[in-house]
Amino acid sequence: MSMIKPWKLISLLFILQLLAGCESKLEQTQTTINQQVASTAQSLTRLGSAIETGSVRNVRLLSEYAHVLKQQKPELTRIANLIAEDATRQGPLYQNLAMRLNDVKAETLTLDNAGLLLDELTRIKEASKQSLFNDALTDPINVLADMSDGQLARVGAISQQAEQNGGGADYGAGSQMVGNPNYGNWQSGSGGTSFWQWYGMYRMLGDLTGRVGYSNWSQNRRYSYYNDYGRSRYTSPKQSVKQAAVETKTRKSFQRKGQSFSSPYAKKRSGAAGLSRSSYTPTKTVSSYSKPKKSFTSSKATSNTGSFRNSGSRTSRGVSRGK
């Protein structure tokens, strides 16, 4: 057997050393991810307990508003009960956070997507803060308030009268939930236009808001907590991809007609009142300090299955490994 040439041996040793270094870095990243998953899970559990015990002020208020509205307008009992579910762990607001955490746990960790996973964990953890969840509940509370014809006061937002004086389109009671993927989504209609479609029983709100088109809503929507302050924390990566797709499609449609289009999120609408300081503070994610090659949403969008498991990296691990 001929001897291995020195340059081949050096190359082999270099490759082995490189692989060992990648493995070591992945192990360290795995530990960091596992710690953040555990910490985020604890935060979500604490929030769930606070919801059940009524420690979150707006949880109690949402239940009280639903009770008052049902007495005032018995015909709205079903929709009042449905909206009041956000005052429980079974509500879409809390359940979406739990599902997003499970999605992170199910992903395959690579050195390429580690920062994206950490970003998502950061957003979920922040959304699990009682102060922020309390603010997020102002939207369903104000939907009930608007249904009461002024008998119940809005919370965390200016009054209906002040809002009407400020301009914008009046889509009726329930408009605070339009655009929030926890309650519905944008569907393509005839002619390529998009309109808001409520999920399941939330379709009852459609009788109050009427048909809401994306183009008109984008330009004329009024204030809501989700669309102006909560979107970054209370939207999953998959939901963000869908929102971006609708916006891109609409912008292209406007351009073909020679018209200008502004994102519905290009500027915050005025109307907030008395929110917590946390709502005004941007989320500090990994990508806030270094610009990644791809965002969490674009990684999902370009993937065949919407999973990090399609990453081209040879070295990968399940997020749950090492616990």
pLDDT in tens, the chain (323 residues): 456 666 555 666 556 565 555 557 778 888 899 999 999 999 999 999 999 999 999 999 999 999 999 999 999 999 999 999 999 999 999 999 999 999 999 998 888 889 999 999 999 999 999 999 999 999 999 999 999 999 999 999 999 989 988 888 889 999 999 999 999 999 987 777 899 999 999 999 999 999 999 999 999 999 999 999 999 999 999 999 999 999 999 999 999 999 999 999 999 999 999 999 999 998 877 655 444 445 444 444 433 333 333 333 334 555 654 44
SS3 category, 204? helix
pLDDT at 269: 94
The sign of the torsion formed by the CA atoms of 215, 219, 222, 225 equals positive
pLDDT at 301: 40
Q: Where are the beta strands (DSSP E) in the chain?
A: 108-110, 184-188, 194-198, 316-318
Helices (H) and strands (E) in the chain, counts: 13, 4
pLDDT at 202: 95
At 75, the amino acid letter reads E
Q: What is the Cβ-side half-sphere exposure of residue 94, based on CA atoms within 13 angstroms?
A: 25
Rounded distance between C-alpha atoms, residue 97 and residue 85, angstroms: 15
Cβ atoms of 186 and 197 within 8 Å: the answer is: yes
* Residue 123 neighbours by CB distance under 10 Å: 22
153: tokens are 């006061």
- Give the dihedral of Cα atoms 82, 83, 87, 93; nearest 10 deg: 100
Given the DSSP bridges, would you call strands 184-188 and 316-318 parallel, antiparallel or unpaired?
unpaired
- For residue 272, report the phi and psi dihedrals to the nearest 5 degrees: -75, 150
Closest CA to 319 of 17, 16, 20, 41: 41
Domain boundaries, the chain: 28-280
Rounded distance between C-alpha atoms, residue 157 and residue 139, angstroms: 9
Closest CA to 138 of 70, 59, 68, 200: 59
Radius of gyration of the chain (CA): 23
pLDDT at 193: 87
